[in-house]
């Protein structure tokens, strides 16, 4: 049995851990791979979600070594986390003798490169996005000598990871095409594109009855036009622009309501609402667990998401996009983010704006009557192959077998896609 050390600097108890790590590994474990997961957990989320995660990994016979994520003091905390990661990974290697290290993003990739050089272990660089460039585009001001040194350090590390990996995973075709133009990329290393996939059983097709139940629970009238936003606020997610869009929307659709489903503290959003002189009654803000999200999103007519279209975002695949479209809800979003524009325009599942000016907002608002006429089933059918969890697992499996230099054909995969261990919904790829 192939032993794999899977390392993530995100926690399994984080929303992304439950949507973008566990579903894949459950499917791959069912194919005969033996996983040990090394992850960094936030204490509060770990307290809330650890039992849910434990049930999932125990059912899949996956081992889990959680470490505490530290954020204070700055810089020193990151050095400490890297030391914990290295020492724990080496301890596990002495015990397990891993065949491969699956590294989710750049910090874990240090271990993948170390293990390949020291032990000959296979190294899968699941880069997710352009991490160093994302930091530069958000918080590392490279005009500051300190951050310039850090940025250059990780770009050099990135070159090593790209050249020594046995396989690279990109979230987007746009990201893959960009990487292939980099001098640091070696054409001898294959790049596989696997977008953030969606559990289409959990994010099931919506209908009018479900929409009505959701609105009743949230206290929203059936005649309101509901615009929803799913996910965190800040950094990349442009709440000021979304609120400006909503202000324009209200002038055309006075009954409109804005539903936020987010882990961000409500006070952050409420402050923005007050600053923009909105009526608080037009906003509903709810926190939801992963299993609660679909029920709440189904209250909406249209989902909106504006993301900063900076250089690093060409490598991003927003998780929320596949989840919302799988429920048959049309979207209004912006271009310049990964393959989003290509997907939305190619499937006819929403409206894409090219800028954040009033004329762009007006064009999107004028398109709303047309978007409301699109059949939810047609949206779901148009995107199901793009965001298929089963297809994602099959792609990872192909990478694993290729890295292992096996000529065995890809077997049928029996996948329990739901993250709820008490519900079994097997799918054959």
416, part of any domain: no
Tell whether the model's pLDDT for residue 290 goes beyond 50.
yes
202, part of any domain: no
24, part of any domain: yes
114, part of any domain: yes
In this predicted model, what pLDDT tens digit does every residue of 185-204 receive, in sequence order?
999 999 999 999 999 999 99
CATH number for the domain including 361?
3.40.50.2000
Least confident residue range of 35-49, 71-85, 246-260, 296-310: 71-85
Strand order in the sheet with 191-193: 63-68, 34-41, 3-8, 100-104, 122-126, 167-170, 191-193
Least confident residue range of 132-136, 261-265, 352-356: 261-265
Count of domains for the chain: 2
Quickly state the pLDDT bin for 234 (edges 50, 70, 90). Answer: confident
**Which residues are within 8 A (CB) of 350 and not within 5 positions of it... i.e. 6 or more apart?**
302, 325, 330, 331, 332, 333, 344, 371
Tell me how far apart the alpha carbons of residues 381 and 270 are, in angstroms, rounded to a whole number.
36
Tell me how far apart the alpha carbons of residues 47 and 93 are, in angstroms, rounded to a whole number.
28
Q: Do both 240 and 300 map to the same domain?
A: yes
Q: Say if CB 260 and CB 287 are below 8 A apart.
A: no
In this predicted model, what pLDDT tens digit does every residue of 9-21 receive, in sequence order?
999 999 889 989 9
Quickly state the pLDDT bin for 71 (edges 50, 70, 90). Answer: confident
Tell whether the model's pLDDT for residue 50 goes beyond 80.
yes
User: Cβ–Cβ contacts within 10 Å for residue 110, how many?
Assistant: 18
**Domain housing 279:** 208-383
Q: Do both 227 and 260 map to the same domain?
A: yes
Tell whether the model's pLDDT for residue 68 goes beyond 70.
yes
Quickly state the pLDDT bin for 325 (edges 50, 70, 90). Answer: very high
Q: Do both 86 and 224 map to the same domain?
A: no
Quickly state the pLDDT bin for 78 (edges 50, 70, 90). Answer: confident
Q: Do both 124 and 220 map to the same domain?
A: no
At 268 the pLDDT is: 92
222, part of any domain: yes
């Amino acid at each position: 049995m192939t032993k794999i050390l899977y390392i993530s600097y995100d926690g399994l108890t984080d929303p992304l851990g439950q949507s973008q790590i566990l579903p894949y590994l459950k499917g791959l474990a069912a194919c005969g791979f033996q996983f040990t997961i090394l992850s960094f957990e936030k204490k509060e989320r770990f307290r809330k979600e650890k039992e849910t995660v434990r049930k999932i990994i125990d059912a899949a016979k996956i081992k889990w070594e959680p470490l505490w994520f530290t954020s204070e003091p700055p810089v020193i905390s990151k050095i400490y986390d890297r030391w914990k990661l290295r020492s724990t990974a080496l301890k596990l290697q002495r015990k397990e003798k891993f065949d491969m290290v699956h590294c989710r993003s750049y910090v874990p990739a240090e271990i993948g490169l170390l293990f390949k050089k020291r032990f000959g272990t296979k190294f899968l660089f699941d880069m997710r996005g352009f991490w160093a460039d994302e930091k530069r585009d958000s918080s590392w001001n490279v005009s500051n000598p300190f951050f310039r040194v850090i940025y250059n350090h990780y770009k050099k590390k990135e070159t090593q990871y790209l050249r020594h990996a046995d396989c690279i995973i990109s979230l987007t075709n746009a990201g893959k095409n960009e990487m292939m133009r980099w001098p640091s990329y070696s054409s001898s290393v294959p790049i596989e594109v696997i977008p953030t996939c969606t559990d289409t059983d959990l994010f099931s097709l919506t209908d009018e009855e479900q929409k009505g139940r959701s609105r009743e629970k949230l206290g929203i009238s059936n005649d309101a036009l509901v615009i929803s936003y799913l996910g965190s606020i800040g950094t990349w997610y442009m709440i000021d622009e979304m609120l400006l869009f909503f202000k324009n929307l209200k002038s055309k659709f006075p009954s409109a309501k804005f539903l936020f489903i987010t882990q961000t503290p409500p006070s952050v959003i409420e402050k923005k609402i007050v600053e923009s002189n909105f009526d608080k009654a037009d906003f509903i803000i709810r926190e939801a667990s992963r299993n609660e999200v679909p029920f709440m999103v189904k209250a909406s007519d249209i989902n909106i998401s504006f993301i900063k279209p900076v250089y690093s975002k060409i490598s991003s695949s927003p998780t929320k996009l596949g989840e919302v479209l799988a429920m048959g809800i049309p979207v209004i979003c912006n271009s310049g983010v990964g393959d989003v524009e290509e997907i939305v325009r190619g499937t006819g599942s929403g409206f894409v704006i090219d800028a954040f000016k009033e004329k762009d907002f007006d064009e999107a608002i004028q398109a709303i009557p047309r978007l409301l006429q699109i059949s939810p089933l047609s949206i779901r059918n148009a995107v199901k192959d793009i965001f298929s969890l089963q297809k994602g697992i099959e792609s990872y499996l192909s990478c694993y077998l290729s890295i292992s230099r096996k000529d065995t054909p890809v077997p049928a995969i029996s996948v329990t896609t739901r993250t709820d261990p008490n519900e079994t919904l097997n799918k054959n790829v």
